[in-house]
Structure 1
Amino acid sequence: MTHATRSAAPGIWCGEFDLFNNDGLRGPRHAGAGHHRTRVLVRAHGRPLGYLHFDAAPDAVSSREIRVRSVDSFGDSVNADAPEPIADAPFVSVIVCTRDHTELLTSCLDRIQALDYPDFEVLVVDNAPSTEETRELLAAICALDSRFRYLRQERAGLSAARNAGIAAARGEILAYTDDDVLVDRNWLTEIARTFRDEPAIGCVTGLVATAAIETNAEGYFDARSPSWSGRMTSERYDLSGRNDGSPLYPYSAGIFGTGANLALAREAVDRVGEFDEALGAGAKTKGGEDLDMFVRVLRAGFAIAYEPAALVWHQHRADDDALRGQLYGYGTGLTAFLTKYLANPATSLDIVSRLFAGVKRLASIRTATEGRMLDHVEAPAGAWQEEVRGYLAGPVLYARARLASRTRQAGLRRS
């Protein structure tokens, strides 16, 4: 199905302003002539407080105006104390899985190189590439920076790439991000700090802020994903009483975070195992591997921490067709993930008991998303319909993916 791409553009520049440093207003993308409005993520000593919106271009927004409005909007939280430095920072393996996105990857790796963290390595997993561009890029980077390593994974699929990273990583923490993500310089510091806060934590996620709302597609996706792009409060989740109060818990899609900003303790990975290769981008199901990992971490007795200070910026799909494809994959991934737990005798009753609440939740997504959209953003034609089409296809696609996985494993045993 094809749709005409809308010509109207919201023109919203997204940036950040920390009340306690002299960096001024800055953002993941340069401001241009097409930016007529501004959204500012306000921070205090790096801690995100919330967003402010200005009906003006970024160069017309003053530091004084941001500070005054921050006091009015965020109250006493603007006076937050600076966090203590981390002693004995653990060694972290940053894992970036990519496929044929060299331009995006270059920007991603530039930000990773600039991380303010003393002890980490970077594994770039090139997943079933169709060109040699990523290998050539990494050859140049690795020649100058020994922290970087290049891995090639010929079996297509994000889960296969994530698992290749697990096998090669040397860190006690495995921090995943995507090639369309720009990490904050304190990203690893806040991840490590959160793991140190509580030994039971097996997984840390963080705020995934929108890098730009220049198109309706970006604006729609920004409104579609508030659970990990808009929450400014630290949260802890487990199966011993700390939850979101939802009848869907712990199968609540998105409540824990997203795979674009996901860190796992090596101890947790050793206990729960690798990512499910029947799920995830590049597999028939197109998603759901992160949702599955969250549930498995909880069921293994670990806690999940959502820490907004572990911040990254995500560059959303900018055109309507790409957005519709992504939303279709979100739909298939979600119901494929749920089908996995419905098919498991140990969890099938959990899923059945939540079916009514789940259907009710899905039915509310369209209205909720459109209600959260910023002024001047219009919903791209067919976006919701593609997501629904994905919901309907997910169970069948999961069955096909599982069958393909079993066939491949049987072939490996015979060889």
Structure 2
Amino acid sequence: MTHATRSAAPGIWCGEFDLFNNEGLRGPRHASSRHHRTRVLVRAHGRPLGYLHFDAAPDTVSSREIRVRSVDSFGETVNADAPEPLVDAPFASVIVCTRDHTELLTSCLDRIQALDYPDFEVLVVDNAPSTEETRELLTAICALDSRFRYLRQERPGLSAARNAGLAAARGEILAYTDDDVLVDSGWLTEIARTFRSEPGIGCVTGLVATAAIETNAEGYFDARSPSWSGRMTSERYDLRGRDDGSPLYPYSAGIFGTGANLALAREAVDRVGEFDEALGAGTTTKGGEDLDIFVRVLRAGFAIAYEPAALVWHQHRADDDALRSQLHGYGTGLTAFLTKYLANPATTLDIVSRLFAGVARMASIRTATEQRMLDRVEAPAGAWREEMRGYLAGPALYARARWASRTRQAGLRRS
């Protein structure tokens, strides 16, 4: 794929169609004249079955055509039974961490307010804000909806914000999502149902569907993240034989899901503790805190459940510069996370034994991503290079962040 000339924008509208309701084709964004292709997430009683692609604008795609193609593509799964109603739902805490993204946050919170779950609270953690806009927004929301609470964490970093939410949360289930995410109305119900499905589940993740592929940057990231945006099968992972068959397991990046759609059981949190504040967006490492919490949950003896019906829609970075920055952060976060376990005597040999497989996997990401990219989507120039630069920088950045965290903690103890 050449970068000599840039193609027209992909113009793909992303939406969903449930075979068992009358809501028709709908999506997280309104269709417009710039959308000339359509991707449909087909569902049956809320359960995702897979994607259909149409080389046509969304307003020309008929329900009948979707139904016919669904039978051809998904077979007997289109006749799935509806799930049993969830009874005695435990109290849940939804935690949204944000920084200076009021417009995105407004849409995010609108969708959370519409959840069909009967008993939950919402904690919005304003992380080192540069304005008062988020506080003002939450003041208005809290006055009308007592389920919402506003928290402020002046110490920058996603992990610090997540820990602030964790400390204030009252729920048995602690469900995290991001301000650039739009949750499905059944998201929290499916999380709770999954925790109930078997004993010993400490973490639930779910499908993170792409909200739009209107630019090449969005199309590239969509292809870059298939492990959490394309899997339609429920999975269970633990350290007792249920794994993905990879030599990298359980340090496989992304196999368990992502922090944009992550729920923890209170019992698991009590055992594994807080998020590592040397990792995550807003720190020098820029990521890796979700990978770390996944491994810690497994090492504490819990299972991780991936449930595609616990669905959210993610609004990817739309321009090339933002994408390159995000991919650099993915690179630094991954190798910072691995450095943490390499430096831990209890896991050093575990990491060393997987190094060659890990390097081979990193080297294959570019080719695999470009093979998955939809027709007429081009890789933004420098995307892979920025991710590689991140891989190389991550170990030193983790050492710096770890030192800063220890210095801060020592200062707190002295005071």
Q: TM-score range by the shorter chain?
A: over 0.9
SS at match of 2:95: strand
**How far apart, in 2, do the equivalents of 1:402 and 1:253 lie?**
21
Deviation at 1:397, TM superposition (A): 0.1
**How far apart, in 2, do the equivalents of 1:23 and 1:201 lie?**
33
- Contact 1:3–1:382, Cα closer than 8 Å, also in 2: no
SS at match of 1:208: strand
Encode CA deviations 1:354-405: one digit per residue, 9 max, x unaligned: 0000000000000000000001100000000000000000000000000000
SS at match of 1:115: coil
SS at match of 1:385: helix
SS at match of 2:83: coil
Task: Structure 1 unaligned segments of length 5 or more: list them.
Answer: none
SS at match of 1:209: strand
Equivalences for residues 178-193 of structure 1 within 5 A? 178-193=178-193
**How far apart, in 2, do the equivalents of 1:413 and 1:169 lie?**
25
- Contact 2:97–2:178, Cα closer than 8 Å, also in 1: yes
- Contact 1:5–1:319, Cα closer than 8 Å, also in 2: no
SS at match of 2:308: strand
- Contact 2:235–2:305, Cα closer than 8 Å, also in 1: yes
SS at match of 1:7: coil
- Contact 1:95–1:174, Cα closer than 8 Å, also in 2: yes
- Contact 2:7–2:378, Cα closer than 8 Å, also in 1: no
Rate the CA distance shift 1:403–1:4 in 2: closer, same or farther, 3 A: farther
Give the RMSD, CA atoms, in angstroms. Answer: 1.7
- Contact 2:13–2:214, Cα closer than 8 Å, also in 1: yes
- Corresponding residue of 2:123: 123
Deviation at 1:2, TM superposition (A): 18
- Contact 1:14–1:39, Cα closer than 8 Å, also in 2: yes
Deviation at 1:3, TM superposition (A): 11
- Corresponding residue of 2:55: 55
Rate the CA distance shift 1:3–1:275 in 2: closer, same or farther, 3 A: farther
Equivalences for residues 356-375 of structure 1 within 5 A? 356-375=356-375
**How far apart, in 2, do the equivalents of 1:191 and 1:414 lie?**
42
Encode CA deviations 1:76-109: one digit per residue, 9 max, x unaligned: 0000000000110010000000000000000000
Deviation at 1:8, TM superposition (A): 2.5
Rate the CA distance shift 1:404–1:239 in 2: closer, same or farther, 3 A: same
SS at match of 2:74: helix
Deviation at 1:192, TM superposition (A): 0.2
TM-score normalised by L of structure 2: 0.99
Question: How many percent identity over aligned positions?
Answer: 92
SS at match of 2:396: helix
- Corresponding residue of 1:153: 153
**How far apart, in 2, do the equivalents of 1:2 and 1:72 lie?**
35
Encode CA deviations 1:116-151: one digit per residue, 9 max, x unaligned: 010000000000000000000000000000000000
Encode CA deviations 1:234-289: one digit per residue, 9 max, x unaligned: 00000000000000000000000000000000000000000000000001100000
Deviation at 1:410, TM superposition (A): 1.1
**How far apart, in 1, do the equivalents of 2:303 and 2:137 lie?**
37
TM-score normalised by L of structure 1: 0.99
Task: Structure 2 unaligned segments of length 5 or more: list them.
Answer: none
- Contact 1:157–1:283, Cα closer than 8 Å, also in 2: yes
Residue 303 in 1 paired to residue 303 in 2?
Answer: yes
After superposing on structure 2, the runs of 4+ consecutive aligned residues of structure 1 that deviate more than 3 Å are 1-7
Deviation at 1:4, TM superposition (A): 11
- Corresponding residue of 1:83: 83
- Contact 2:7–2:377, Cα closer than 8 Å, also in 1: no
- Contact 2:286–2:333, Cα closer than 8 Å, also in 1: yes
- Contact 1:217–1:379, Cα closer than 8 Å, also in 2: yes
Aligned length: 415
**How far apart, in 1, do the equivalents of 2:347 and 2:191 lie?**
30
SS at match of 2:354: helix
**How far apart, in 1, do the equivalents of 2:261 and 2:352 lie?**
30
- Contact 1:3–1:321, Cα closer than 8 Å, also in 2: no
